[in-house]
Homo-oligomer: A and B are copies of this chain.
Amino acid sequence: MKKLYLYVVGLILIMVQFVNAQVIYSPNKVTTLTFKVTDKGEMFYSLKYKNKNVIKESKLGLELLDKFPLTTEFLVENFDTITVNETWTPVWGEVKQIRNHYKELMVNLIQPMIKHRRMKIRFRLYDDGLGFRYEFPAQTEVTYFTITEEKTEFALTGNHKTFWLPGDYEANEYEYNVSKLSEVNALKALGVNEIFAKTVIGKNYVQTPLMMKTAEGLYINIHEAAQVNYPAMNLKVDTLNFVLTSTLVPDAYGNKAYIQTPAVSPWRTVIVSDKATDILASKIILNLNEPCKFEDVSWIKPIKYVGIWWEMHVRTALWSYSGLYNIKLDQVDWNNVIPHGLHGATTERTKRYIDFAAEHGFDAVLVEGWNVGWEDWFGNWKEEVFDFVTPYPDFDVAEIQRYAKSKGVKMIMHHETSASVTNYERRIDTAFRFMKQYGYDAVKTGYVGRIIPRGEYHDGQWMSNHYVRVVDKAAKYKIMVNAHEPTRPTGLCRTYPNWLACEAARGNEYNAWSHGNLPEHETILPFTRLMGGPMDYTPGIFEIKLDHWIHGKTEQVNTTLTKQLALYVTLYSPLQMAADYPEAYENYLDAFQFIKDVAVDWDDTKILEAEPGDYVTIARKAKGTENWFIGGITDENARESNISLSFLKPKVKYVATIYKDAADAHYKNNPKAYQIINETVDSNSKLKVKLAEGGGYAISLKPLKK
């Protein structure tokens, strides 16, 4: 009897243990996820890669306004597991097809003491990492609630090397910091003057995507996927114990997210590999996003463009038309305003760009500063800055439409909102109708400044909804979007493929008017910002030293000329600008040929070499062709890139045109020294290319015509 009793007790203990914990393995058993609920009803998960700890036991949960938290008193009702192995075809992308292969663990949780309140946590375990999210099913007792904080932990195994941006509610155009986790000090961001709207969270806060490297050589990337109707996540770093804890961007009341069930959080992602190249090749974030929302995507096309833009950053031209200040939109008679003569967006200059685009095969021309309001657009927290439909007197929209059409070139609209989002939302339908009336089918939006509604931040829930709302509305007009100064992307371009690109990081423009971007900057971007989606970095600056344009100007682009070429391949985007003046390109037409040739949409991608902060080399196969393009970049150190061309079609000869740094090139002293070499290669070829300090190279490969 006693024996039976012990047996029963043992069985119950085993059962309790069984229902409250679960271990799953990724499809090829590379990664392992463990989930458990403790006796107190707290939830923990951990992640291993090849049997090594990546995330140690880490807490999960959320705190609510005026309600019992979603952190404790949970029981597991049951676990569901499935394995999914599917492929899907992106509208545009780095590869033709994307495989989505994971093991899913759905944990159905209940708080028996809190009116049987239910929550789910859905884990998707891939060979190269993990995604998980909170799910809030509709229940009688759980309809509307407010999240005051998300308490998701990522307990790391050590004091990793980390590539981090200061935690901030709205600014993401910082330089990257490279340090140990223990050395994170985000307060240095307070002294960054070139970013106008920033709200630094505190000393130990960092942004995602957060890239790390362990002492053992594991690469770990933490970010999120599908940030919809939810604020962005920053991470608080415990600099002693190396535990990262989520913190969400608040609203005016300090609340984080207003939830109506059924709802889900964004996916929290951990990408991991012992090879840096695998991090760049990972498709976890795209896979975790919802499929394309649109039936008809025939109107969505990748774009290579030029535009009236760099001259304003270099300051040979201005966005504004006049020396007026303190403008009220409806009270200026623009035809009687005396222009200052430096306005960039003139009909004449636009035609110059249209001619240039037509001659060199670009799809489109962007023009900034075309519409009234730029005289005092900035820094006044002003609501009625732009109306998005009134051109300056020297910008003839109808004539430009006619001329561009006659040349087979598209125009790209510019909507700088000055972060006055209420004003933009009021006027957006009128603005989109104006665009279609004049033949524009793509818009570059901008959000420079402090947000109106005052109290909201660029990365909060309300603004996150705004960005999606714009893209969704744009789709109704068949308009493509390139958003500058939004929250950083989380793969939503899968769901909304008209969202071609975002800025949301420190772009090439900083080289024009600040100390610029360090040579390592572009080797970090693919591991951080670009994990979430394409960036409109605007590469292609040939006149590296800006005193070429303005005598005495000390700024320069911190790369060699051929590194600028390489960026078209290493910084993936279906929207790429050739950002320099036409006059700059006309002086280097041989090097310019690469920009003319390079594709913006791809059937395949091979990450050949990569080390964050040091170098990146990528090969891509142009959509629907046998042409390949290679880009290789380095940081401030010279290096030799050794690559095999084994990805080429066997037994086919290719002409390789190699654009590389000259032997004496150096980004500081001799940035424009380049060589162009033609070679015949095949899939057995190996190439060695020397990169100068701050240098890079680009190769175009075309099958030899017989």
Contacts and interface: CB of A to CB of B under 8 A. Distances in A.
Interface of A: 138, 143-144, 146, 251-253, 255, 258, 260-261, 325-326, 328, 376, 380-383, 422, 425-426, 429, 453-456, 462, 465
A144 B251 contact: no
Given A253-B455, A454-B462, A455-B454, A144 B326 contact: yes
Nearest to A258: B381
B455 A251 contact: yes
A386 to B, nearest CB: 15
B425 A260 contact: no
Q: Which of A138, A326, A383 has the most CB of B within 10 A?
A: A326
Which of A252, A255, A325, A382 is the most central at the interface, judged by chain B CB atoms within 10 Å of its CB? A252
Contact of A426 (B260, B382, B425, B456): B425
Nearest to A451: B453
B454 A260 contact: no
Given A138-B326, A326-B143, A425-B426, A380 B456 contact: no
Contacts of A376: 143-144
* A-B residue pairs, 3 tightest by C-beta: A252-B455, A455-B455, A453-B453
Contacts of A456: 453-455
A422 B461 CA distance: 14
A326 B260 CA distance: 7
A285 to B, nearest CB: 26
A144 B425 contact: no
Secondary structure of the A contact surface, majority rule: loop
- How many identical chains are in the complex? 2
A454 B252 contact: yes
A136 to B, nearest CB: 11
Contacts of A380: 143-144, 260
Contacts of A426: 425-426
Given A143-B380, A144-B326, A144-B382, 16 more contacts: A143-B325, A144-B376, A144-B380, A251-B454, A252-B252, A252-B455, A253-B454, A253-B455, A258-B381, A258-B382, A258-B383, A260-B382, A422-B425, A453-B456, A453-B462, A455-B455
A224 B265 CA distance: 47
A422 to B, nearest CB: 7
B328 A260 contact: yes
Contact of A455 (B258, B325, B326, B453): B453
Contacts of A383: 258, 465
Nearest to A263: B328
A294 to B, nearest CB: 16
A613 to B, nearest CB: 38
A109 to B, nearest CB: 20
A82 B98 CA distance: 79
Contacts of A325: 143
A50 to B, nearest CB: 43
A293 to B, nearest CB: 13
Contacts of A453: 252, 422, 453-456, 462
A325 B141 CA distance: 11
20 contacts: A138-B326, A143-B380, A144-B326, A144-B380, A144-B381, A144-B382, A251-B454, A252-B454, A258-B383, A260-B382, A383-B465, A429-B429, A453-B453, A453-B454, A453-B456, A453-B462, A454-B455, A454-B462, A455-B455, A455-B456
A315 B455 CA distance: 38
A382 B380 CA distance: 30
A231 to B, nearest CB: 13
A456 B462 CA distance: 14
Contacts of A422: 422, 425, 453
User: Chain B CB within 10 Å — which of A382, A422, A429, A462 has the most?
Assistant: A422
A193 to B, nearest CB: 17
Nearest to A465: B383
Nearest to A146: B381
Contacts of A260: 326, 328, 380, 382
Contacts of A251: 454-455
A286 B575 CA distance: 57
A144 B465 CA distance: 30
A465 B423 CA distance: 12
A660 to B, nearest CB: 51
Most buried by B among A383, A429, A454, A456: A454
A465 B383 CA distance: 11
A454 B258 CA distance: 11
A430 to B, nearest CB: 8
A425 B255 CA distance: 23
A144 B327 CA distance: 11
A260 B465 CA distance: 30
A425 B426 CA distance: 6
Contacts of A462: 453-454
A462 B423 CA distance: 12
Contacts of A255: 454
Nearest to A255: B454
A251 B422 CA distance: 15
Nearest to A379: B144
Nearest to A253: B454
A14 to B, nearest CB: 40
A644 B415 CA distance: 67
A557 to B, nearest CB: 34
Given A253-B455, A462-B454, A261 B326 contact: yes
A255 B429 CA distance: 31
A10 to B, nearest CB: 44
A290 to B, nearest CB: 15
A138 B253 CA distance: 35
A347 B9 CA distance: 67
